[in-house]
Amino acid sequence: MHTQLEQVVPLGHSLGQYQRMFKLTEDDLNKKLLGVADGPSSFNAELTAAGGQVTSIDPIYAYTGEEIESQFQSSFDPVRQRLTPNPQDWDWSFQPAPGLMQTRRTCATRSFVDDFKLPSSTDRYKVGELPQLPVNTAQFDIAVCSHFLFFYSDQLSFQFHIDAINEMLRVAREVRIFPLTTLMLNVSPYIEGVLLNFITEGYEVLIEESDYTLVDGYNRVMTIRHKGFAN
């Protein structure tokens, strides 16, 4: 699958938001981390500036920083309309007020673009896409995937999810996925099947309440880890 930039919904979250979504502790932030489908998030830029070791993989890294930023600006309103059909139903304690959402996301994207343009950042931003990642086996402690797996359950098959998670488990000892809801804010129909598949395969699988929410049901994170690797 070759991802066209105009097909992408470029959300863009900050390090603080990733920490809350994925329940990343200070100890976790000192590990070798992989962000899959990170898009224009500032997770990598901010964590690198704080001394962390992080690599991000996304097909949109084939484009320039300016192209990604311009796509982000032109698609923000449709995203907001899709995500906030009923703003009164949102838990605003985790989000800025509706009018400030764009400012917050624009800041994350600007930090990403500034970092992405640095000649020294090329090793930290890799062009690639699930279900095949351009990195060697067992390179990372934790791989996180925000707003891609489960989020696009209406477009991506169950088998794609199994292959993608297997691929993330090939390169990392632990995988965390957030949220477990789709873009339309419904619980993904794949949760139970994915859970059963990886428990049967001998992995430890947890579904926990994350420290981040938006609407009811949006606040869960799935962790899948090789047995014997616990924090």
Ligand X SMILES: C[S@@+](CC[C@H](N)C(=O)[O-])C[C@H]1O[C@@H](n2cnc3c(N)ncnc32)[C@H](O)[C@@H]1O
Q: How far is the CB of 66 from ligand X (least distance, A)?
A: 16
Burial of 131: CB neighbours in 10 Å, binned 0-12, 13-18, 19+:
middle
- Helices then strands, counting H and E runs in the chain, come out as 7, 7
Q: Closest CB to ligand X among 39 and 65? A: 39
Q: Closest CB to ligand X among 128 and 193? A: 128
Q: Closest CB to ligand X among 182 and 204? A: 182
Q: How far is the CB of 136 from ligand X (least distance, A)?
A: 18
Separation CA 68–CA 5 (nearest Å): 8
Provide the residue type at 181 as one letter. T
Q: Closest CB to ligand X among 13 and 225? A: 13
Residue nearest to ligand X (CB): 39
Q: How far is the CB of 27 from ligand X (least distance, A)?
A: 22
Q: How far is the CB of 215 from ligand X (least distance, A)?
A: 16
Report CA-CA distances (Å) from 100 to 63, 81, 104, 146, 184: 27, 14, 6, 21, 22
Separation CA 231–CA 226 (nearest Å): 12
Q: Closest CB to ligand X among 72 and 198? A: 72
Q: How far is the CB of 173 from ligand X (least distance, A)?
A: 20
Q: Closest CB to ligand X among 74 and 199? A: 74
Separation CA 224–CA 80 (nearest Å): 30
Q: How far is the CB of 57 from ligand X (least distance, A)?
A: 7
Q: How far from chain centre, in Å, is Cα 137?
A: 20
**Which residues make up the interface to ligand X (CB under 6 A)?**
1, 3, 8-13, 36-39, 41, 58-60, 129-130, 146-148
Provide the residue type at 228 as one letter. G
**H/E element, 66:** helix 65-83
DSSP strand pairing (32-36 vs 140-146): parallel
